[in-house]
Amino acid sequence: ASADDEDVMTDNAIAPEGVEDVDDVEMNEGDLDTRTFDLTDDDLRTIAESGWVTYDEEHSGKPDVDAATNYYDGKYGPTRSAIAYADSQLGMFFYFPPKELWVRIAEETELYRLQNIPAMTISRREKLQARQAKDPRVSVPNVEDIEADLNKFKPIQAHEIVH
């Protein structure tokens, strides 16, 4: 045993709570089937030749299973709707996700927009004030008017995200 192993053994010398006298547990001869651990290389070769199936690199691609008998014999191939989008990678990207995903994205986008209206109001007012500093003819509405204007937008719909 190496010094590291001895350190681990020393660290584990104190049994955890609930585990008592682990070394005192009696084992019967029948508890362990040691026959499989005493096999020589010749024994293993004999077992392999007598019927064991080996699954190594050479054989793993050839599973020993019966061939299927109930093959699908209906129509196959891409659907007409999939073919319609097949010329565009972006179209295929938008074709496969479920509609529920787009509805959820629309809902979360709308929620994000609503949560950011106060920040957008302040930003818009500051930009207008900066323009007014350069050109006094620019009028700057009050915060309530800007916020009301931002709240006029209709909620974002799922089809607007997809298109």
Residue 159's contacts (CB-CB under 8 Å, 6 or more residues apart) are 102
Would you say residue 16 has pLDDT above 60?
Answer: no
- Tell me whether residue 57 is in a domain: no
- Judge whether 29 lies within some domain: no
Task: In whole angstroms, give the CA distance from residue 4 to residue 10.
Answer: 10
Q: Please state the domain count of the chain.
A: 1
Residue 115 has a pLDDT of: 95
pLDDT tier for residue 28 given thresholds of 50, 70 and 90: low
Assess if residue 137 is contained within a domain.
Answer: yes
- The more confidently predicted of residues 29 and 153 is 153
| Contact (CB, 8 A) for 59 and 52 | no
Task: Establish if 106 belongs to a structural domain.
Answer: yes
- CA-based Rg of the chain, rounded to a whole angstrom? 37
**Has residue 143 been placed in a domain?**
yes
Q: Residue 140 has what pLDDT?
A: 93
Q: What is the pLDDT of residue 125?
A: 95
Q: In this structure, is residue 121 part of a structural domain? A: yes
Q: What is the pLDDT of residues 76-127, one digit of tens each?
A: 888 888 888 888 888 888 888 888 998 999 999 999 999 999 999 999 999 9
Mean pLDDT within 127-138? 93
Please give the average per-residue pLDDT across 129-155, as a whole number. Answer: 93
Instruction: Assess if residue 67 is contained within a domain.
Output: no
More confident residue, 28 or 117: 117
Q: Check if the beta carbon of residue 155 is closer than 8 Å to that of residue 110.
A: yes
110 part of a folded domain: yes
What confidence category does residue 160 fall into, taking pLDDT thresholds of 50, 70 and 90?
A: confident
- In percent, the amount of the chain with pLDDT more than 70 equals 67
Please check whether residue 126 is in contact with residue 119, taking contact to mean a CB–CB distance below 8 angstroms. Answer: no
Q: Is 86:78 a contact under the CB 8 Å cutoff?
A: yes
Structural domain of residue 119, as residue ranges?
99-162
